[in-house]
């Protein structure tokens, strides 16, 4: 099955704080507002199988969230460099979960940028051992590079100087899946918990669990985010839109739980290397 086509023009999202403190979120393009930048969040869409790569820069530090496969790691570094030029030092690479398409390039970027790699503590050993099964690397016909990572758990914070990224454990796609929240910006970076607004995530891969997935989506909904940065598709902006998307994804998981994990009859079975599901008919989610 061919992967869904996500918007090629979404370069990233910048978060500005104008004088007076009101929050403005803007999809990056050629326009700029006369505001004082206090934190910058940019999303680089992945190439082919790769997940998106998220760059969050503050006054004191910059972090990279997810790196994609090792296949395009040199290309990814070239794409990253203009976005970290004249910004604070890249100190950490945060991984939302253990899958090859999300973390395969982490060792290369770590060596090139001098940044520590972090992932949920339950995935540290599988990454260090270059596990081919639970990382799903074997399904790509690829080796899994050994990854030396530090382990985090829920509540760990990464201080960027003018904002804080907090880890929340959101299992379901995998046991170790985590999201990252920036509370003062009402922002969630969720990896493949929500691949994109109209494409729900899979829970049938190793360590995945539909019951965990339901609880994790409900956890995100309770945060009432204003911005959700997805693992694959465009960012979801606006409180009502975020609520609508989360409600739809929760309803989908509930229906799969009630069907003992089976997909609706019209939904195509995903390819092994596809980490999302394709609803038929396509979901109608308001703009």
Interval 234-287: pLDDT, tens: 999 999 999 999 999 999 999 999 999 999 999 999 998 999 999 999 998 865
Q: What's this model's pTM, rounded to 2 decimal places?
A: 0.88
Residues 26-39, mean pLDDT to the nearest whole number: 44
* Distance, CA of 93 to CA of 215 (rounded, Å): 26
C-alpha closest to that of 53 among 73, 23, 26: 73
Confidence band, pLDDT 50/70/90 cuts, at residue 61 = very high
Confidence band, pLDDT 50/70/90 cuts, at residue 115 = very high
Give pLDDT tens digits for 76-110.
999 999 999 999 999 999 999 999 999 999 999 99
Confidence band, pLDDT 50/70/90 cuts, at residue 37 = low
Q: Three-class SS of residue 37? A: strand
Mean pLDDT of the chain, nearest integer: 88
Confidence band, pLDDT 50/70/90 cuts, at residue 167 = very high
Confidence band, pLDDT 50/70/90 cuts, at residue 169 = very high
Q: Residue 286 has what pLDDT?
A: 65
Q: Three-class SS of residue 94? A: strand
Question: H helices within the chain, ranges in order?
Answer: 73-84, 100-103, 106-113, 124-128, 210-222, 239-258
In this predicted structure, the answer to whether residue 3 has a pLDDT above a threshold of 80 is no
Q: 249-274 burial, b if ≥16 CB within 10 A, otherwise e?
A: bbebbeebeeeeeebeeebeebeebb
Q: Which two tokens stand for residue 255?
A: 């229906």
Q: Which fold has domain 13-258?
A: Metallo-beta-lactamase; Chain A (3.60.15)
Q: How far is CA 192 from CA 38, 111, 112, 169, 196, in A?
A: 27, 25, 26, 13, 8
In this predicted structure, the answer to whether residue 69 has a pLDDT above a threshold of 60 is yes
Residues 40-47, mean pLDDT to the nearest whole number: 95
Q: Residue 287 has what pLDDT?
A: 55
In this predicted structure, the answer to whether residue 36 has a pLDDT above a threshold of 80 is no
């Amino acid at each position: 099955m061919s992967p869904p086509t996500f918007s090629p023009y979404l370069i990233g999202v910048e978060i500005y704080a104008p004088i007076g403190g009101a929050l403005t979120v803007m999809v990056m393009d050629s326009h700029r507002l006369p505001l004082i930048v206090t934190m910058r969040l940019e999303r680089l869409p992945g190439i082919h199988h790769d997940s998106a790569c998220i760059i969050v820069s503050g006054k004191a530090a910059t972090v990279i969230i997810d790196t994609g496969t090792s296949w395009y790691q040199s290309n990814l570094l070239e794409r990253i460099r203009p976005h970290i030029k004249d910004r604070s030092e890249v100190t950490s690479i945060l991984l939302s979960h253990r899958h090859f398409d999300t973390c395969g390039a982490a060792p290369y970027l770590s060596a090139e940028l001098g940044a520590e790699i972090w992932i949920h503590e339950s995935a540290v050993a599988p990454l260090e051992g270059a596990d081919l099964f639970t990382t799903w690397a074997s399904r790509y016909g690829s080796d899994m590079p050994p990854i030396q990572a530090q382990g985090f758990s829920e509540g760990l914070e990464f201080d960027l100087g003018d904002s804080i990224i907090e880890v929340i454990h959101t299992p379901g796609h995998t046991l170790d899946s985590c999201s990252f929240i920036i509370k003062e910006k009402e922002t969630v970076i969720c990896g493949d918990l929500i691949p994109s607004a109209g494409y729900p995530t899979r829970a049938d891969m190793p360590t995945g669990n539909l019951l965990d997935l339901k609880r994790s989506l409900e956890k995100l909904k309770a945060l009432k985010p204003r911005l959700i940065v997805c693992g694959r598709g465009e960012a979801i902006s606006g409180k009502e839109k975020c609520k609508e998307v989360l409600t739809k994804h929760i309803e989908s998981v509930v229906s799969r739980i009630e069907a003992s994990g089976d997909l609706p009859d019209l939904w195509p079975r995903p390819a092994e290397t596809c980490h999302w599901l394709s609803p038929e008919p396509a979901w109608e989610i308001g703009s």
